Amino acid sequence: MKQKPIHSQTSQRLHQHPSTADYQVSTLDFIKANLKDALKLFPIILVVFLLWLVLTFVIYGIFGG
């Protein structure tokens, strides 16, 4: 039984490594991404600060200051 080799239908474009230009991120996009991350962290930091404040007043109320 003889089999014919199948010609690849994948173009060579898919096998190229990304160029250095593909790795470059614009400064504006970089700042936007960092700002989004900071805004996501802000509510968490606020809640932790408020919990710390409440616990501090509770401990001072129990033990006296």
Q: Residues 5-14: pLDDT tens digits?
A: 777 666 666 6
User: What is the chain's percent helix, strand, coil content, to nearest 5?
Assistant: 70, 0, 30
User: pLDDT for 14-64, tens place per residue?
Assistant: 667 878 888 898 999 999 999 999 999 999 999 999 999 999 999 999 998
Please state the domain extents for the chain. 28-65
Six-digit token string for 21: 């230009």
pTM over 0.85: no
DSSP 18: P
- Residue 7: its pLDDT value, please? 73
- Residue 44: its pLDDT value, please? 95
